[in-house]
Structure 1
Amino acid sequence: MADTPPRTGTPAPHHDTDLIVIGGGPAGCAAARTAAGVGMRSILVEPDALCRSLHRIPALNNVLGGHTAGPALAEAITTELESTRLCRLELGRHVVALRSAEDRVTATLDTGASLTAPYAVVATGVAPLRLRDAPWITAPSGLDLPPLWQADAGGTAGRTLLVLGGDRPVGTFLRAHPDTGVRLLVAYPEADAYKVEEIRDDPRVTLLPVEHVTLRARGGGAPAADTVNRDGTRHTITADACHLSIGNAPTAPPGDLVRGPDGYCPPTDQHPRVLVAGDLRSARFQRIMAAMGSGSEAALHAYYTARGLHVRA
């Protein structure tokens, strides 16, 4: 789809662009591409490469377009954005402050430069939690477990992996390696119960709902795990290796964003000129297609509102 020519009179002389997009994942890229489609200029700020998190997803089953792996989708999105005339990319840059005012938003970069626009789409997404971030896990000082997506599927045949947490990378791992003979022992807290439904029927998986896990060092191998189950019973679990799949934490930039108790930024709670899209909205809607849709919707919201047109929910 070709960019629509910029509308006469936009952006206003005292603004750098029509729309600032913070975050270059699927949501931010969709926002910038949709903005271009209606003639809005945007500046997209991303500290890394576009769609960098997609490179950690070896198998896709919930996106349109025939993409079956994250890297292929990331490459397609990147190619699209790099050819979008009305989008200026600021890669390798962080937003260190976001401020909203009556007539503008201002994003300050780590270089000290400031960008202004009538609206900003914040789509900074989430980052993986670390072992120390899980209150339901007690671990020896200095222990650091790798995430499940780093497991070498080729070397897991016939092995048993203990996975702490039931986050969605477990399902992704199983879909990416349908023929591997691995056995997964998935210990997860009650908060992850809704996430494990997609793996419940996989014969390679044993689900272990727990209240708490205590890891102990074990010579020459993966740590042993002492579990307290929800019925109060206790068990000791050993495995050939141990990996994490405990979820993510929101990564909102500093400044004028309203955060909920869980750290996420509900779109309805924000300043009218600040539009939140993608995974930053909620832990319950972290899907690629949902992120892209919300990014596009945020850009259109800015477009219609800037023209005085009422936007219905």
Structure 2
Amino acid sequence: MGKPVLLSVDDDPGVSRAVARDLRRRYGEEFRVLRASSADEALAALRELKLRGDPVAVLLADYRMPAMNGIEFLERAMDLFPRARRALLTAYADTDAAISAINLVDVDSYLLKPWDPPEEKLYPVVDAMIDAWRETADAVVEGVKLVGHRWSAPSFRARDLLARNAVPYRWFNVDEPEGQRILSAAGAGPDDVPVVVTADAQVLRNPSEAELAAVAGLSIDPREEFYDLVVVGGGPAGLGAAVYGASEGLRTVLVEREAPGGQAGQSSRIENYLGFPDGVSGGQLADRARRQAVKFGAEILLARDVVALETHGPKRVVRLDDGRGIGAHAVVLATGVSYRSLGVAGVDDLTGRGVFYGSAMTEAAECADRDVFIVGGANSAGQAAVFFSRYARSVCLLVRGPSLESSMSAYLIEQIAAIPAISVRTCTTLQGAHGDGHLESVTLLDAQSGERQTVPASHLFVFIGGAPRTGWLDGAVVRDERGFIPTGPGLMADGRRPRGWGLDRDPYFLESSLPGVFVAGDVRAESVKRVASAVGEGAMAVTLVHRYLEQP
């Protein structure tokens, strides 16, 4: 953020230079003094200052200017900087008009030209305006500014991407006055949201995730064309592989389509992970792992989707969504799973507008004093219920089965039972989600009584298990009927090696049907769906990569 601004605008070059000179002499150390020769030029400067987040303390405008007079300019300037103090520069003959402006359009004062000596006729007036501005100065807004709509799915995705990647940003609702002022300064409208304004005043209208990641300072482009190891997926398994690969001297790059941590990174509290007796949030765990991997030299690309895996002799190539290829000696597939779609009427239309897959912790403040529903009975759902109970009026956990004992850890069941705001409805399924533009109610079915009930709801969070995102691997590696990737012994049907294997050895324990391509974490067939086991498989995969690279 720059110094607070004192801006003068006068179409007379001599007067413009004189007022700027006198202002700099008195206020130049503490304020940035700018001058403009027309109202349009001054408004353009104010828009730039608004986008940069720089404060404006005082506006001085000549009363008589062509095209737009001083009163009209100050009225328009108020739309951008409503708390800046305002004064008219006027000749004696226009005193009545200046006084009328003070009464009608909230001008603070007027200054007669000429103002010699400034110590008597200029500085006391400006001093008073600066003091008044300081008493009501705008809050400082640094870094990325994001203007969006409360119930806009693209706006939610932009907020979520920034938050999960620990990028500081300030949110402005398009319906609020400051959000409208930023849109005006950016030359954008409500239909352009989300609108992103960076610290250096770049403006993006409804950017893609890669565009947003780039201007937010995240790495989206590989530094090299070839690596020892490419890790696809940034969940616990992928981060574990990146840490161990880089720490053991492999040139390692990790490619993640959203943010480090995967589904685990969205967990509000993990309390059964080894070494954290007081628990740790998934975001904190992911950030520590990311920093650890970077410390050892791993490169991490974010907001990049991998769309294909290719074989070129001994080289393995992963193809990114922008068409670029990254070559490597070996690949670790750690893409995890994505939450399955509910397939319930109304849910798809309201996703991102009250319905969310995963915990969406950026929504926590919006849940204050509201009724929240969570679909699922596993640990992730229980952790979300505990988290949102700190904000919401009520949290209702919808569980298809007859109890939580078969799917949730005992410590979480005990926590939930001790929180009055949380209720658990077993043998209950969601039948519909309803709302005009955003979620307003849900319909529930009690499987035991057959009763249907429609109840108010502001937020619905879905945790119903995952499906692997492996369609892009079609034809590259063997997958089972559910899309998971079998490895090692799982590939040895009747003791035979997989078709097209081509090596005089059996596949290693975590190796796929394509030599040199290993699989770790939830995407692997028959894996244990736990954070600790995923990290362990990531580390084990690197050991097997070394063994693969050392073979003749």
Match for residue 235 of structure 1? 452
Amino acid at match of 2:440: A
Among 463, 474, 478, the alignment partner of 1:258 is: 478
Q: Does 1:299 align with 2:542?
A: yes
In structure 2, distance between residues paired with 1:180 and 1:163: 14
Change (3 A) 1:307 1:110: same
- Judging changes above 3 Å, is the alpha-carbon distance between structure 1 residues 103 and 183 closer, same or farther for their aligned structure 2 residues? same
Preserved CA contact (<8 Å) 1:21 1:43: yes
Partner of 2:431: 214
* Distance in 2 between residues matched to 1:153 and 1:259, nearest whole Å: 41
State the SS of the aligned residue for 1:291: helix
* Secondary structure in structure 1 of the residue aligned to 2:317: strand
- The answer (yes or no) to whether the contact 2:243–2:289 under 8 Å persists in 1 is no
Change (3 A) 1:64 1:38: same
Task: Provide closer, same or farther for how the CA distance between residues 297 and 191 of structure 1 changes in structure 2, counting only shifts above 3 A.
Answer: farther
Task: Report the secondary structure of 2:349's partner residue.
Answer: coil
Quote the residue 2:528 is aligned against: 285
The alpha-carbon distance between structure 1 residues 160 and 176, as it changes in their structure 2 partners (threshold 3 A), is: closer
Question: What is the rounded CA distance, in whole Å, between the counterparts of 1:176 and 1:108 in structure 2?
Answer: 38
- Residue type matched to 2:470 in 1? A
Q: Secondary structure at the match of 1:294?
A: helix
Q: How many Å separate the matches in 1 of 2:444 and 2:256?
A: 41
2: CA distance between counterparts of 1:48 and 1:217?
28
Q: Using the TM superposition, give the Cα deviation of residue 179 of structure 1 relative to its aligned residue in structure 2, in angstroms.
A: 6.2
1:115 aligns with 2:326: yes
Aligned pairs for 1:109-258 (under 5 A) are 109-129=320-340, 133-135=341-343, 137-139=344-346, 142-144=349-351, 145-147=354-356, 149-150=359-360, 152=364, 155=367, 160-176=371-387, 183-190=394-401, 194-196=406-408, 198=410, 199-201=412-414, 202-203=416-417, 204-210=422-428, 213-215=430-432, 217=434, 222-227=440-445, 229=447, 231=448, 233-247=450-464, 248-252=466-470, 254-255=472-473, 256-258=476-478
101-110 or 188-197, which moves further after superposition?
Answer: 188-197
Return closer, same or farther for 1:170/1:297 CA change in 2, 3 Å cut-off. Answer: same
* CA positional deviation for 1:189: 3.3
Q: Is 1:74 aligned with 2:283?
A: no
Counterpart-to-counterpart distance in 1, 2:346 and 2:234: 34
Q: Quickly say closer, same or farther: Cα 1:182–1:88, change in 2 above 3 A.
A: same
For the 8 Å contact 1:124–1:253, the answer to whether it is kept is no
2:484–2:523 contact (8 Å) kept in structure 1: yes
Aligned to 2:519: 276
* 1:30 aligned residue (232, 240, 243): 240
Match of 1:42?
Answer: 252
Larger CA deviation: 201-210 vs 117-126: 201-210
Superposed CA RMSD in Å reads 3.6
Structure-2 residue corresponding to 1:3: none
Other-structure match for 1:11: none
In 1, the alpha carbon distance for the partners of 2:280 and 2:393 equals 22
CA distance in 1, matches of 2:535, 2:377: 24
Runs of 5+ unmatched residues, structure 2: 1-224, 492-511
Question: Separation in 2 of the partners of 1:222 and 1:301?
Answer: 51
SS at match of 1:299: helix
Equivalent residues in 2 for 1:91-102 (5 A)? 91-100=302-311
Native 8 Å contact 1:100 1:273 kept in 2: no
The offset of 1:121, in angstroms, is: 0.2
> Which residue of the partner structure matches residue 62 of structure 2?
none
SS in 1 for 2:396: strand
Q: Percent identical across equivalent pairs?
A: 22
Highest Rg: 1 or 2? Answer: 2
Q: Match of 2:424, as an amino acid?
A: T
Q: Which amino acid aligns with 2:260?
A: L
Q: Aligned AA for 1:165?
A: G
- Could you list the per-position Cα deviations for residues 132-170 of structure 1 after superposition, in whole angstroms to 9, with x for gaps in the alignment? x224x344773434236245378556x653323334332
Q: Which has the higher helix share?
A: 2
Where 1:286 maps in the other structure, the secondary structure is coil
Please tell me whether the aligned partners of residues 442 and 456 of structure 2 are also in contact (alpha carbons under 8 angstroms).
Answer: yes
Change (3 A) 1:178 1:226: closer
Change (3 A) 1:140 1:307: closer
Letter in 2 for 1:123: A
The answer to whether the Cα contact below 8 Å between 2:372 and 2:457 also exists between their aligned partners in 1 is: yes
Task: State the distance in 2 between where 1:181 and 1:109 align.
Answer: 40
| Deviation (angstroms), 1:70 | 2.5
Deviation per CA, 1:25-50: give whole Å up to 9, x if none.
Answer: 22112112212333332222233443
From 296, 308, 330, the equivalent of 1:84 is 296
Residues 223 and 37 (structure 1), Cα distance of their counterparts in 2 relative to 1, 3 Å cut: same
Partner of 2:228: 18
**TM-score, normalisation: structure 2:** 0.45
Preserved contact between residue 227 and residue 237 of structure 1 (Cα < 8 Å): no
Change (3 A) 1:275 1:232: farther
Measure, in 2, the Cα distance between the counterparts of 1:187 and 1:58.
19
Displacement of 1:61 in angstroms is: 1.0
Q: Give the secondary structure class of the aligned counterpart of 2:397.
A: strand
| Count of aligned pairs between the two proteins | 287
Question: Whole-Å Cα distance in 2 between the matches of residues 192 and 18 of structure 1?
Answer: 48
Q: Give CA deviations for 1:2-44 in whole Å, capped at 9, x if unaligned.
A: xxxxxxxxxxxxx933222112222112112212333332222
Secondary structure of the residue aligned to 2:234 is coil
SS state at 1:142 partner: helix
Normalised by the length of structure 1, the TM-score is 0.74
Structure 1 residue 288: deviation in Å? 2.2
**Distance (Å, rounded) in 2 between the aligned partners of 1:140 and 1:174:** 20
